[in-house]
Amino acid sequence: MPSRRSHTKSRKGCRQCKRRHVKCDEELPKCGLCKKRKLECTYPPPSSEADSQHASPPRDASEAVSASNKLPLPTRMLEMRLFHLYLTETYITVCQGPLDANHFQCIVPRMATSHPYLLDALLALSSLHQASMEPDDNRMWLETALKYQSRACSALGQVLADFTLDNCGPAFICSIFIMLSVTAYPCLTKEEYVFDPLSQVLEIRRLIAGCSFLFQQLGQMEQPGEMEEWIRYKEGDKWEDSKLEEEHRSQNLQHLRSELAASLLRIEGQVDAVKEPNKKTYRDTWAFLLESFQRWPWGRPNGGIIAWPLNITEEYIVLLKEGDWVARILFLHYGVGMHLYSHRWFVKDFGRRVVAAVVEPLEEIPAEWAETIEWTKQAVSLDI
């Protein structure tokens, strides 16, 4: 009777393979066997008591240093690939107006090498960027992004619990990357993700509030150092003519911006006709939307269209949840406004999905809003 073939023991294999007593190929983020069987794949911490008990003692000090610095090769190669993607492609996609590309390509990566939570947020963002470039087979990149983002969020929470101005810069950039990742994720998962526009906007609102808090702290720093460009960016209008954005060169986007402003002006009378106590809520929401569209593609002084969730009130959110028609119409204009950024990979069809999620369930539309709703559908090329 032939003897059973043994396999080389893998101390760093996933828990699922160890449980089945099979050899793990240690691929990340999911090993080959778990991927084939469509199982959850989890790895134990990099160093464990088992490893330390079985490892051979190093022969000299240099070998000890080398052994302590070793990383699983697949993880190391994956992170190098994502870091390289950020340095060569991703960084330029997050530049905004006068903020020099050098800031995102050189300064931010240098900060990340000293602050692991920022590095994790950077790797998560790069992984989502890679997912956007492989839309037909991006599951691995989405899972990788979630892993790094989870680590970044957990570590950032600990940093904020013991917050000091010394951590303000890295924490601020980290919060921006997390916010962009949360915005991007549902648009990259497509049918696998149930898109609830209000829940998504409220989550973005919470994250932007964190960004806003840290941004305010930057202004209190006597020597902002490498973050000085953000302080200058905060100053506003004098920068708006300093650099032409890609959006300004697109006639289609310029036309959409003009149509958005015109649509808001058309409904101004209906907004003003609302009786108290909701009139001020609607008027303020309407005015902020109009200012955002007029200032696009720049966001100052209130952050622009992307920051709209931060600038809405609790009263407006309640009205939107209750299905109030004026609240819905303003929300649809926000969706069309986000469509102005549809050429950016981290927004893509976010605006279209907002409009679709609001319009599709509607059975009856009041006559006074029928034309406006039809226009919002056409503006985002929605055929329903």
Residue bearing the bigger pLDDT, 178 or 56: 178
Query: Which residues does 109 contact at the CB level (< 8 Å), separation at least 6?
Result: 83, 86, 87, 91, 122
Provide the pLDDT for residue 72. 56
**Radius of gyration, alpha carbons of the chain:** 25
81 and 199 assigned to the same domain: yes
Average pLDDT taken over every residue of the chain: 80
118 and 22 assigned to the same domain: no
Q: Which domain holds residue 120?
A: 73-236
Provide the pLDDT for residue 63. 42
Residue bearing the bigger pLDDT, 123 or 69: 123
Helix (H, G, I), strand (E, B) or coil at 318: helix
231 and 252 assigned to the same domain: no
180 and 329 assigned to the same domain: no
191 — pLDDT class (breaks 50, 70, 90): low
6-to-18, 21, 22, 145, 255 alpha-carbon distances in Å: 14, 11, 10, 36, 68
Residue 115 has pLDDT above 90, yes or no: yes
Last residue of a domain, one of 186, 206, 236: 236
83 and 32 assigned to the same domain: no
343 in any annotated domain: yes
Query: Which residues does 56 contact at the CB level (< 8 Å), separation at least 6?
Result: none
Contact 50, 23 (CB under 8 A): no
154 in any annotated domain: yes
Provide the pLDDT for residue 40. 76
Contact 16, 39 (CB under 8 A): yes
Provide the pLDDT for residue 239. 43
Provide the pLDDT for residue 227. 73
193 in any annotated domain: yes
106 and 232 assigned to the same domain: yes
The pTM score is: 0.74
The region of weakest confidence among 218-222, 286-290, 311-315 is: 218-222
Provide the pLDDT for residue 224. 64
Residue bearing the bigger pLDDT, 58 or 162: 162
231 and 355 assigned to the same domain: no
166 and 273 assigned to the same domain: no
Integer Cα distance of 217 and 99 in angstroms? 19
228 and 308 assigned to the same domain: no
The structural domain count of the chain equals: 3
CATH classification of the domain holding 18? 4.10.240.10
Provide the pLDDT for residue 303. 64
281 and 355 assigned to the same domain: yes
144 in any annotated domain: yes
Last residue of a domain, one of 199, 215, 236: 236
Residue 271 has pLDDT above 60, yes or no: yes
33 in any annotated domain: yes
293 — pLDDT class (breaks 50, 70, 90): confident
214 — pLDDT class (breaks 50, 70, 90): confident
Provide the pLDDT for residue 48. 38
232 and 139 assigned to the same domain: yes
350 in any annotated domain: yes
Provide the pLDDT for residue 77. 92
Residue percentage of the chain with pLDDT more than 70: 78
120 in any annotated domain: yes
Residue 262 half-sphere exposure, CB side, CA atoms within 13 Å?
9
Nearest to 325, CA basis, from 362, 360, 288, 276? 362
250 and 196 assigned to the same domain: no
Mean pLDDT (whole number) for 151-165: 89
Last residue of a domain, one of 172, 205, 236: 236
326 in any annotated domain: yes
